[in-house]
Chain A
Amino acid sequence: MRVVTVSTPLPAPALRRAATEEGATVTRNKRRPVALLAASVFVLAVLVLPLAFLLTEAGGAGVSNVWHLIWRSLTASLLWNTVRLTVVVTALCAVIGTLAAYGVERTDLPGRHVWAVLVVVPFAIPDFVVSFGWSSLSTWVQGFRGAVLVMTLAVYPLVYLPVAASLRGADPGQEEIARSLGASGLETFFRVTLGQARRAILGGCLLVALLILAEYGAFEILGYQTFTTEIFSEFNVGLDPATACALSLVLVVLSLVVLVGEGASRGGGRLSRSGPGAQRVLVRKKLGRARLFVLGAYALLVLGALGVPVGSCVYWIFEGGVPAVAGISLGSAALYTVAYGLGAALVATLMALPVALLVVRHPARLHFLLERTTFLVLAIPGLVVALALSYFSTHYAGGFANQSAPLLVLAYSIMFFPLALVCVRASVAQAPVGLDEVAGSLGVRRLPALFRVTLPLVAPGLGAAFCLVFLSAVTELTATLILIPINAATLATQFWAYQQNLSYAQAAPFALVIIAVAAVPSYVLGRFFDRLPRRGSAQAPVVVT
């Protein structure tokens, strides 16, 4: 490949802007953030409820009892199943997500704007629908191989999104320098391009790993046992939640390992740009004769992740037997789903704001640790979160709000808080703190300044958080089954009820409506990640440091 260097004159305003923004992250706010700290502590107290529940239950069963429950050969086989699946799927997602992002961002792939949308949309399809679609296609799709295939296709966008964003923000000049110093194309890709995207890849992998640990529906359909499916089984037969809680604690430890592992491999090195802040004009790598092959790969990916699930839903609508189960209508299930989803999106976003402001504007080791621990929530199965809230409601609040919409919304908000935080934090990190200080020096009080200056600046992040939580809540199944108010049903619970009864023809329309409802926010989200990092090579949103 011939390296073409194009020099672009740097306009003065861009320079100034870059300078202000660079300042934003390093400026340390001197005032003690009492209100922020209080709000954040409150949020964290809510987030810690599921963990408190697990410890209470396990404590009630007695340490030796719990130890006995954990120390069984069943645990070992579950551990093996869970770990090998997590490792393989995370690795596959890392490769597929990164390559897909590289192709769209750095090559002259034909139709890359269309591909950029098509490879993100699968994020809107619930894992259990992907699982349903694939497993009704072929009996090959089952057990371990089925779980690998389905989960990879269902969650690779979590790597794609941040990597695409980070590649777009990274300085192509470094690659040119590497080439000019004699590095080969492949060497440059591995040492420079991947180096630039490393944190984004790791951040995406972290989310993938945590989500796999907590996944239930997809594995139940595929007949693959993991810790989470076994926790469900134990709860379903046990009548005594001690075993389920003991296994959940193992799951929490596993996710701690993932978190620490990700933190350690992220390393302490700083990545910085060689230029002063303006983007060089990107010279896209020419695919040449590989073009057809690459196009085929994209087509396969989209076919597998999008085509098969949607196709088999459509197939079942026409092919299924008699409708056997009456139930809540598609319309009212959609209404409940959207209402709960909007509520959760609003609450989770509001919860994320103080924590994000605290961590970014008042960096301290403790704040950072607090933020990282919130990621544990992602790996706790929805069932456990729901049981915890139900438990605290019946034991300490006289049954107040149990099986009510607010409690369900709270459960969603807890479960998807880390996703909201990721988005809000990315935006806060980009908003120049100087503007706040200017507002202060002009006599605007802090609260009005928050509304007039900070919020508009972080609005894209709030919007993205809103969409991401909404999207996740719309596809949530297991907590919903426990906490849903009597006589209500969401699209996911109704799909599940039909699917469980083998009424595929009746289940299919619900799956299609879930996809339709979730497609809008996933598109918005794609746009957010699209625009986000215009500076700082490693500032991809998911890569939170």
Chain B
Amino acid sequence: MRRFLGLATVAVLSLATAACTAGSHSGAGGHVTITLYNGQHLQTTDALVTAFEKATGIGVAVRSNDEDVLDAEIVAEGSRSPADVILTENSPALEYLQAKGLLSPLDRATLARTPRRFSSPQADWVGVSARVSVLIYNPGLIHKAALPTRVIDLADSRYKGELAFAPDETDFQPVVTSVLRTYGRAATLHWLDGIKANAGSHIYPDNEAISSAVNRGIVAFGVVNQYYWYRMRAEIGSGNIHSEIAYFVPRDPGYVIDVSGAGVLRSSTHQAAAQRFVAFLVSKTAQEIIAHSISFEYPIASGVQSAQPETPFGELKPNPIDIADLGTGAQAIALLHEVQLL
């Protein structure tokens, strides 16, 4: 027994040491390693981080999770947060940190790379890439002509049992906020009740789950961002695709551009390297990577256009709601709470 325990201890210690050495990344050779809290999809982030490390020699340690979880971690960690940079999928997560005074102002040159309307009005974070909200539908279950063309019609009772959406997905909050700004609080609550009833049990945890469910014919259509469909097609092969995407009518409140952005943490002890990383994200090199990656996001900085066969960014006709109006998402969350979708 003692021998067993002894062996076990040795095994544990040696493996733990191995794991620790494999994990520790910093310091060696005097070069800097920054820590990135990543709320973006791995597809996008991996390629960008690799290119940055190659170009600058600065190491990047990545911690990935849902952007709201990362926000909560940063707030809890306070001045001791290991994060130097945060990269999110949506603007509200950054607006939230900015409102708490946790972000450093960005270099002017960095901000100048991205059209102003896609960055923080207060200049604490910069827009990196963008996506647009659409409907994904299964033509085997619903004809394109029968789809709602305005977001408000999603609550129409004729779609009972056919609609899918993800109330806790961060991509959905901007749609709710947009509806709120257009129609007001009472109508939005009514609308939420309607889509909740229409969805029934088709309430999903995220957009990937909606895309997959629609594609497999579990539910007729759902609200997602356009790139989920393109990515799904790339991942599972076009032979397995049984769904299409459809846009809302121009300037409909459901037709929302979601901006993914990055900021430097005020608590970062590597301000210069962190600023360099964010500057890199909006550089031509990084934007080209986004343009060609199979994340299917739209590059929005340095004048780069998407190289993927999707509706060109310039031809989109979204609701002209701005970043400040989308805010921190708190209002949308409160409404979702009120109708007990959360």
Complex partner residue of A142 from B69, B218, B235, CB under 8 angstroms: B218
CA distance A394 to B43 in the complex (A): 31
Q: Are A390 and B333 in contact (CB under 8 A)?
A: no
Q: Are B340 and A321 in contact (CB under 8 A)?
A: no
The interface size bin for chain A is 35 or more
A-side contacts of B182, CB under 8 Å:
none
Which B-chain residue is minimally distant from A142 (CB atoms)? Answer: B218
Q: How far is the CB of A543 from the nearest CB of chain B, in Å? A: 25
Q: How far is the CB of A115 from the nearest CB of chain B, in Å? A: 30
Contact with A along B216-257 (1 / 0, CB 8 A): 111000000000000110111100000000000000000000
Contact with B along A493-522 (1 / 0, CB 8 A): 000010011111100000000000000000
Q: Are A405 and B46 in contact (CB under 8 A)?
A: no
Which A-chain residue is minimally distant from B80 (CB atoms)? Answer: A399
Q: Is B281 an interface residue (CB 8 A)?
A: no
Contact residues of B: prevailing secondary structure = helix
A-side contacts of B12, CB under 8 Å:
339, 342-343, 346
Complex partner residue of B82 from A390, A403, A463, CB under 8 angstroms: A403
Q: Is B89 an interface residue (CB 8 A)?
A: no
Complex partner residue of A339 from B2, B19, B50, CB under 8 angstroms: B19
Complex partner residue of B63 from A223, A241, A405, A486, CB under 8 angstroms: A486
Q: Is B106 an interface residue (CB 8 A)?
A: no
Contact residues of A: prevailing secondary structure = helix
Complex partner residue of A336 from B19, B71, B205, CB under 8 angstroms: B19
A-side contacts of B107, CB under 8 Å:
none
Contact with B along A204-223 (1 / 0, CB 8 A): 00000000000000001101
Q: Are B23 and A485 in contact (CB under 8 A)?
A: yes
Which B-chain residue is minimally distant from A488 (CB atoms)? Answer: B23
**Given the known A-B contacts A321-B234, A325-B46, are A339 and B16 also in contact in the complex, defined by CB atoms under 8 Å?**
yes
Give the total of B residues in contact with A, Cβ under 8 Å. 73
Q: Is A237 an interface residue (CB 8 A)?
A: yes
Which A-chain residue is minimally distant from B72 (CB atoms)? Answer: A239
Complex partner residue of A327 from B46, B72, B167, CB under 8 angstroms: B46
Task: Name the residue among A238, A239, A340, A500 with the largest chain B CB count within 10 angstroms.
Answer: A239
B-side contacts of A166, CB under 8 Å:
none
Q: Is B8 an interface residue (CB 8 A)?
A: yes
Q: Is B22 an interface residue (CB 8 A)?
A: yes
Q: Are A339 and B209 in contact (CB under 8 A)?
A: no
CA distance A503 to B72 in the complex (A): 27
Q: Are B76 and A451 in contact (CB under 8 A)?
A: no
> Which A residues are within 8 Å of any B CB, using their own CB?
72-74, 139, 142-143, 220-221, 223, 225, 229, 232-239, 241, 243, 319-322, 324-327, 332, 335-336, 338-340, 342-343, 345-346, 390-391, 394, 398-399, 402-403, 405, 451, 455-456, 459, 462-463, 466, 481-482, 485-488, 497, 500-505
